[in-house]
Structure 1
């Protein structure tokens, strides 16, 4: 990659000619040397002719090396995965393609010469602007184009014969350039790019002023080497003192202006030297351009004006320059203003860059601090658990020690008493036996009637139950880094991604299938297509959109009732979703009827309410507020109703505001919303048929985050179906056309696939959570499956 162009100060002031010669303007920005044949690029940067050639050659060689490297990597992968027998047809096809292309080129040589040559484009090494070398067919058609293209064709054939991969003939590059090819490239460059005669003149003047020692040109003709002390501005000859004196006496040169070296070095003759230089005519290099053809927009000498442009409108260079000077000044002012704006923008970018570095250091420090705090808390908790275990086991050990001591003492006492009575019974006299009998009986009675303190009725059973040690919970504890892009000047409205406030339980993999059945009914006339599920106190409601009904089942899969087959308002036309109230009342959205209808558990129609609904779809109950929220797929808004009275509380139209380049615009967050659920923090979780498919809003409909794009990969949705949220805030969403169910964090980040087609799932359409905390899945065709996932 070329180096970045140096940023220059936008504060510009007019310099004298002497001051200008002391600046870097006379040096090439690429090689840092004095200009040698300065050429003007389209971006108005000036480079030496050889610098342009070197740039083209180096760019070509670097691209070829990159192509060869990619080819070697591709060949290495192909060798590992494909046998040599399988490679032969591909290689043959590539050679055939190249041969056909080359034959086509050779068949029409005239068309071939009109094609763009290799390296016709190159980037300015100072500003990376693209420069195009324009071809001059009238000058170079036979002298330059054919040799260049012939050499290129030879190179292409050599690449084919050596089996080197390439991407396209019109972009082929050459690995190495011969001197002849370098000559052609230089000729192409000099013919395509204009000479910057202004900088060339300044460079020549700068060089003239700094030449320390020169030889007299006239003395050299006589074989002498005499230092020059003066310079004829008209003849442009260096002269010694004697030759200068003779030069000023000769009739032909006595009126010439002669400048002495010290005066030249001091800049006393700068304007005189500059006034005697001229821009040569393109066709007559010895003649200065002094005329301008307004019809051809071309400067020329007097010879060209009198011959080729004699019928055109031609005027002198002096009046033309006065007329064009105002335009150049206007362009210069425009450049200056734009440069000032770019300088301001550069400062903005630099400030943003500095802020990024500062922000990175701050975030890294925060991450380190959070990590250390977690380590400290883990160590403290480990020590607490160790102390608790030590204390509880210590107390148990002390109690066991006391019991053991009591048992051992009693055991020793009884052993001694037993030995005594054994000896008495064996060797004792009658009177001794009679005298000990009362004491032995008393001791025995005491032992039988006493409550033993040494018996073990309960024992300590220490068990360690580890918490949910998962990477997901570690991520929750440590936090997340957000790198979202926000519009400039819109930081005030930016909301950071919502954090996950609670640890997530460990999800069973695979989940256990607890129960399954088919939600069929004797009243069905069409294949079942469930679009909504709701669960309340061992009662499952299945919204069958195809048969325009809501079916109520108990835990044993027994059909208890079927709603929506009544008359008038009690009849459901196109039910979509449902939710239960705390008292068992069920609310159903009817998309075709444009209303929400309420039924009791017995199927009795209670009432309906519409508000401003047009196409109600998903419905959810906010228990803490006693409100139900309905999402309208046509109006793209949320309507909140009072759960008891059915009165509309408010409407929310989620909008996103972008402010960039001093232009503000608002757009809908929801495009084709379908389902809605309410999380533990009363945030709205919504599925949208338009990506991103999951959108989480605050209770005021401000967008918190969005996720999930269209596709078949793990974190993509092919057709978003129903969704639900459990008590932990985990989000479950049905991926209908991919036949799977995703599970994710409360912030909308999908972490894993809960069930897939391998689990027996086919076209899931709707979801709900049961009273036991199990996941209930409704599938196209009416199959209902309940999984234990924790």
Structure 2
């Protein structure tokens, strides 16, 4: 035990342990902070600001009203410094017989008297009656540290107020060590015990505290392992995501280049065929032209120098030849100009819209949360169904010619392979266009009247049509309600609901403003749907939830699907059974759920004919209709496969939004052309 104590003490009596971490010199008046870090008093004084000092190592703030001098002195460091400084001096002299005239080197040390002795004095020290029992040790062994433990045991700390007196008592009242004089003077009325008794009383509790640190250290070590495992998983997941992104980009790049080569090759074959046909026609025309010139020259020569009878003799032949040349008509001109249709034909979206998004588990973003988002999509709603602009949709550069009356034009339905029966079409009248090209992002059908409302996001207008497609009027939204573009529309009874960024507006069916409210989240646009005249449902994007608002602008409920995270709700519809149908933009699937949040079914590309679901609506039989690129897909109740009821083969005018009104399916193209089909 003594060996272990000596070894431990020897480790402490070294210069680096006794060096201040601020000045990197031996401690001078060491002061100890509550965090158990010690520094020189003079080094701590510049660190005191406004009655507090911050530990340079652990940053713990400590109040020091009296400055650095008011901190506790580190007597433990002081005692070790005394030992270190004694052993540091190798040229020690006898403290008994050395004087100004002579210096006698010390050879021994008395542990009791604390004197350094020469050989003569050490012999006399052992013979004197007063010092007979003192322990005199060899100086070399003393300096080597063989007696450090005994020296530490015999060390006595003197009182600062009475330097000649050792601190041998402890005042329980003041919780400070005191000397004999302090006990008789300042602490006479206090509860005082001997230093030995005080140590014996407090030492077990200190030992218990030290032992309790083992559990703390073990707990921290376990938490470190958890953090390390989390960091490893995070790093592995990050590397996996990086690889997936890189692989995806490589695959998409390879696909795009393959599509490029295939398209260019097809274009070259087509152009070659057309150019060959045109060249053949060109040669034929040149031949006819040469014949006409030859006939013209020959006839002119006859008129100029021919005899009368020669002219009359050849007149019939010339007439027949000229008539033959004039009767020539080009039988076939195989000149066809190719047209190009690109799935994503908006360069500004390619440069601005993010391609990748991240969905973090159990994330609940608020208004001030910044979030990574897939695409710069804008979307809107229709009554009991929701619509949006997908990033892959392209807008036409110009609008087609339009009429305000329904037409029986076959240009719409002849390009469709349909499972429904075409009824009629109508287009937007150019006389009603505002400054911008129309961008129809929403449709709603007024209950009982069947009036069709088309929301033009580009001009912040609602265009109203009769059930037969006759134009009725325009409701202007810009300026009077919001400076931002409107994107969502739905009819709740006799109330018209519109969304603009994070605000929900309620208007009369005539367009008179009633009230507005702030919605949850921080989406750029919100999808709307209505359930009868009870409430307006708002699809809340990455929150993967639906909020319900009454026409009087109160939140009356919230639909949160069970254990559903990492998606982004865009399009929404509500059927007559009060079942919610939403389109998930990120997961590319349709989710059907109850008002309680119970998920009834999930329509996925892996188990159905879906590929990229877009706008959704429902009919009275609970069937779901989905726009999927250039197709319209119908899902009957309990049918998770679906069937294609409309398929645009021309792929020129992309379907954009749709709604069901009675027995009719209303389909709106991206340029505003509206087709009505009988279900």
TM-score range, shorter chain: 0.5 to 0.7
Distance between the aligned counterparts of 1:440 and 1:215, measured in 2? 151
1:702-717 mapped onto 2 (5 Å cutoff): none
1:52 to 2:53 alignment: no
> Is the CA contact (8 Å cut-off) linking 1:26 and 1:35 kept in structure 2?
no
Distance 1:239-1:194 versus aligned 2 partners, 3 A rule: same
- Structure 1: where are the runs of 5+ without partners? 1-13, 58-117, 136-187, 488-495, 517-531, 543-551, 559-573, 580-612, 622-627, 639-651, 658-674, 686-695, 705-726, 731-767, 776-785
Distance 1:305-1:769 versus aligned 2 partners, 3 A rule: farther
1:309-320 mapped onto 2 (5 Å cutoff): 309-320=187-198
TM-superposed CA distance for 1:498, in Å, is: 8.5
Q: 2:51 — aligned with what?
A: 120
Structure 1, residues 741-779: CA drift from partner, whole Å, max 9, x if none? xxxxxxxxxxxxxxxxxxxxxxxxxxx99867599xxxx
Structure 1, residues 530-559: CA drift from partner, whole Å, max 9, x if none? xx97547951599xxxxxxxxx9946559x
Q: 1:755 — aligned with what?
A: none
The Cα RMSD (Å) is 5.5
- Structure 2: where are the runs of 5+ without partners? 365-370, 378-389, 397-429, 435-442, 455-463, 474-491, 498-530, 540-545, 585-589, 600-612, 617-656, 660-665, 675-679
> Is the CA contact (8 Å cut-off) linking 2:288 and 2:325 kept in structure 1?
no
> Is the CA contact (8 Å cut-off) linking 2:93 and 2:116 kept in structure 1?
yes
Q: 2:643 — aligned with what?
A: none
1:469 to 2:469 alignment: no
Q: 1:259 — aligned with what?
A: 137
Aligned pair count reads 465
1:478 to 2:478 alignment: no
TM-superposed CA distance for 1:365, in Å, is: 4.8
Q: 1:292 — aligned with what?
A: 170
TM-superposed CA distance for 1:274, in Å, is: 0.6
1:132 to 2:28 alignment: no
Q: 2:476 — aligned with what?
A: none
1:539 to 2:416 alignment: no
Distance between the aligned counterparts of 1:575 and 1:434, measured in 2? 92
TM-superposed CA distance for 1:41, in Å, is: 0.9
Distance 1:421-1:272 versus aligned 2 partners, 3 A rule: same
Deviates more, 1:366-375 or 1:272-281: 366-375
TM-superposed CA distance for 1:280, in Å, is: 3.0
> Is the CA contact (8 Å cut-off) linking 1:618 and 1:631 kept in structure 2?
yes
Distance between the aligned counterparts of 2:121 and 2:271, measured in 1? 118
TM-superposed CA distance for 1:328, in Å, is: 0.7
**SS of structure 2 residue aligned to 1:479:** coil
TM-superposed CA distance for 1:206, in Å, is: 4.3
TM-superposed CA distance for 1:391, in Å, is: 3.8
Give TM-score, length-normalised by structure 1.
0.47
Distance 1:437-1:29 versus aligned 2 partners, 3 A rule: farther
> Is the CA contact (8 Å cut-off) linking 1:637 and 1:653 kept in structure 2?
no
Distance between the aligned counterparts of 1:361 and 1:222, measured in 2? 79
TM-superposed CA distance for 1:17, in Å, is: 3.3
Residue 8 of structure 2, aligned match among 7, 19, 36: 19
Distance between the aligned counterparts of 1:123 and 1:348, measured in 2? 31
Q: 1:636 — aligned with what?
A: 557
1:446-525 mapped onto 2 (5 Å cutoff): 447=325, 451-453=329-331, 456=333, 460=337, 467-469=344-346, 472-474=349-351, 478-482=355-359, 502-503=390-391, 505=393
Residue 582 of structure 2, aligned match among 667, 683, 687: 683
> Is the CA contact (8 Å cut-off) linking 1:470 and 1:506 kept in structure 2?
no
Distance 1:412-1:241 versus aligned 2 partners, 3 A rule: farther
TM-superposed CA distance for 1:676, in Å, is: 10
Distance between the aligned counterparts of 2:122 and 2:79, measured in 1? 25
1:606-625 mapped onto 2 (5 Å cutoff): 616-618=534-536
> Is the CA contact (8 Å cut-off) linking 1:656 and 1:703 kept in structure 2?
no
Structure 1, residues 287-336: CA drift from partner, whole Å, max 9, x if none? 22222233333321222223333333322121221121121122212333
> Is the CA contact (8 Å cut-off) linking 2:295 and 2:322 kept in structure 1?
no
**SS of structure 1 residue aligned to 2:222:** helix
**SS of structure 1 residue aligned to 2:193:** strand
1:609-758 mapped onto 2 (5 Å cutoff): 616-618=534-536, 636-638=557-559, 677-678=572-573, 682-683=581-582, 699=593, 728=614
TM-superposed CA distance for 1:239, in Å, is: 3.7
Give TM-score, length-normalised by structure 2.
0.54
> Is the CA contact (8 Å cut-off) linking 2:344 and 2:394 kept in structure 1?
no
Q: Whose helix proportion is higher, 1 or 2?
A: 1
